[in-house]
Structure 1
Amino acid sequence: MIKNSQVSVRTMTDQNLTDFIRCPYKFYYAHIEKKKHPLGWRQAIQHIINKVVSSYFQLPQSHRTPANVLMLIDQYWGRLELRMFDSQLQYYMAAATVTDSLMRNLSSESEIAQPLFLYERFRMNLKELNADLSLTFDVAEWQQDSFIVKKFLVDADEQMLELYCHLTVVFSEKVFGIRPARIEVVTLMDGDRHVFNPNKDSLEAGLIYLQMMKALLEDTRQFSDLYNMNECPACPFQGVCDRDEKNERKQKYLS
């Protein structure tokens, strides 16, 4: 049960913000109460993607081939457990889709000589939020007087794409003093590449967005308006979540 209507968030990470967007209750139980929970299939596949992409860019350019992408996928995919998935069909469909997307997208990135960043995590204190921010840069490629940031995700909706872009801009300008020339997010389950071109107004927009997110994170009274029912079936916190009770009280109040 959620005990307090107001919570204090001192550190905002890309992971806890992503969990909040998927479902604020999941964010609360995982990151505020720090309840232990099993790894879900989406997180497990994301770990594999990170390993494959990182290993691929550490290969000499002459070895960055589709065959070696497949070799890396085979190397890491065996760590997945079938019980994480709803069915065998879901498991095999995910394997086929992610494999195809990784081979296609990584092959097109083979010309990057040496990434500027490769899965490097940065942390900073943002005085505008009175909180720390933490973000991992998957792959960054230097280009002239700026850089291109690339991220490889299992999937992402518009809110998550917006979150990542704002975080990347704020970090880039506040920590490095440089606005990224381009931000690319590849969502592997649908094979799409989402491209964003930050401008001079992007930093202010990012700060406003993060201030709004912090306010939402800290006010549990708004969670019942924000949660996503589609996340419920696979949620590890079904046994403790009080979303239904809160919604029932809200409906009685409104009626």
Structure 2
Amino acid sequence: MEQSAAVKLIEDYKLEELLRCPYRFIKRQTANKRAGEVNGRQLMQFAVSHIVNDFYELPPHARTADVVKRLAERWWTPRVAKFENAEHYWDSKLQAVAHLTAFLLEEQEAAPIIQFEQHRTFVEPLDMELTQIFQIVAEDPYGTNTDYIVQKFVVDEDEDVIVTFQHMTAVFCNSAFGKLPSRIDVLSVMSGQRICYYPSEADIPQSLDYMRLVQTVLPEAERLRKSNNVAECRSCPLRSECFSKTAEATAEAVLQKSACLTM
């Protein structure tokens, strides 16, 4: 991302990482080895994504709770040291698998149209391209034959990330597919919460404005220090330098502007 020019391309996975921790994001961009190390959340997200993908590769009659457990044993990370402690590791695994099983069994009759695919579209009102990785896009069983839902399975409930995902998905789908999803689901496997958003044509101007604001904030947000993701911060190797007085002073101006994103 160049600070001297407007952002012409927004990639969803990079935007999410930046929102979670701008400081770590820019360190990765400059090839800092320590910043590039994966953490517990990323390892859990990797496992959850593979479990969901493998689950939907099976025919509906084979999608059972036992299958989810077997897939979890296959994909769950053995790297206990990436978590706060052994208890945190096992608790995270038990909660995630239990909630993921419940979600998947509720949706086992779903017919995915798109399954873990990356798509790209040019959004004319924004004069920018968006790329988005869709985990599950499925037929809406309660709608018409052209209605669909978008689902994202997550291991945290970062409010900034969720709101951005909702707005970006609405804008992307409206541009790329010519039809809004009837529902956008964020499924949190740690809490078991299903966060539903029902986009409408009347909401599109607001979502476009949100993405415009994202576009203007991104070049500066690389200097922003995230301070409310406490669990992840505790195990971050960059914590001491991120929370230094220098980093705090540098972030102050950006904090004021980026606050508009969540208003």
**TM surpasses 0.5:** yes
Deviation at 1:76, TM superposition (A): 0.8
- Count of residues in Structure 1 that have an aligned counterpart in Structure 2: 244
The residue that corresponds to 2:257 in the other structure is none
Question: 1:143-196: per-residue Cα shift (whole Å, max 9, x none)?
Answer: 312211111100123222211111111111100101111111101111100111
Q: Matched residue of 1:155: which SS?
A: coil
Deviation at 1:18, TM superposition (A): 1.5
State the match for 1:177 in structure 2. 178
Which residue identity does 1:168 align to in structure 2? T
Matching residue of 2:57: 58
The code of the aligned residue for 1:157 comes to D
C-alpha distance after superposition, 1:83-129 (max 9, x if no partner): 111210110110111011111111111111x3111111112233444
- Spell out, residue by residue over 1:215-255, the C-alpha distance to the aligned partner (whole angstroms, 9 max, x if none): 1111259725x65462533224347647531435789xxxx
> Aligned in 2, Cα 1:85/1:166: closer, same or farther, shift over 3 Å?
same
State the partner residue of 1:18: 16
| Residue in 2 that maps onto 1:101 | 99
State the alpha-carbon separation in 1 of the partners of residues 149 and 115 from structure 2.
12
| Aligned residue type for 2:115 | L
TM-score normalised by structure 1 residue count: 0.85
Could you tell me which amino acid in structure 2 is paired with residue 140 of structure 1?
V
Name the counterpart of 2:165.
164
Cα distance in 1 for residues equivalent to 2:243 and 2:84: 24
1:211: how far off?
Answer: 1.1
Residues 245 and 197 of structure 1: is their aligned pair in 2 closer, same or farther, counting only changes over 3 Å?
A: same
**Which moved further from structure 2: 178-187 or 154-163?**
154-163
Cα separation, 2, equivalents of 1:81 and 1:122: 32
Per-residue deviation, 1:23: 2.4
Q: Distance in 2 between matches of 1:229 and 1:186?
A: 19
Tell me the amino acid that sits aligned with residue 63 of structure 1. Answer: A
For 2:51 and 2:85, locate their aligned partners in 1 and report how far apart those are by CA, in whole Å. 24
Q: What is the TM-score when the length of structure 2 is the normalising length?
A: 0.83
CA distance in 1, matches of 2:222, 2:66: 51
2:51 partner letter: V
Change (3 A) 1:242 1:82: closer
Q: Which residue of 1 aligns with 2:32?
A: 35
Letter in 2 for 1:163: T
| Distance (Å, rounded) in 2 between the aligned partners of 1:104 and 1:219 | 40
Aligned-pair Cα RMSD in Å: 2.5
- Correspondences of 1:29-178 after superposition (within 5 Å): 29-31=27-29, 33-36=30-33, 37-77=36-76, 79-112=77-110, 114-143=111-140, 144=144, 145-178=146-179
| 3-state secondary structure, aligned to 1:105 | helix
Letter of the structure 1 residue corresponding to residue 245 of structure 2:
D
- AA aligned to 1:18 is E
Secondary structure of the residue aligned to 1:223 is: coil
Letter in 1 for 2:52: V
1:89 aligned partner, one-letter code: E
Change (3 A) 1:234 1:11: farther
Taking only the aligned residue pairs, the percentage that are identical comes to 26
The answer to whether the Cα contact below 8 Å between 1:25 and 1:227 also exists between their aligned partners in 2 is no
Give the partner amino acid of 2:109. E
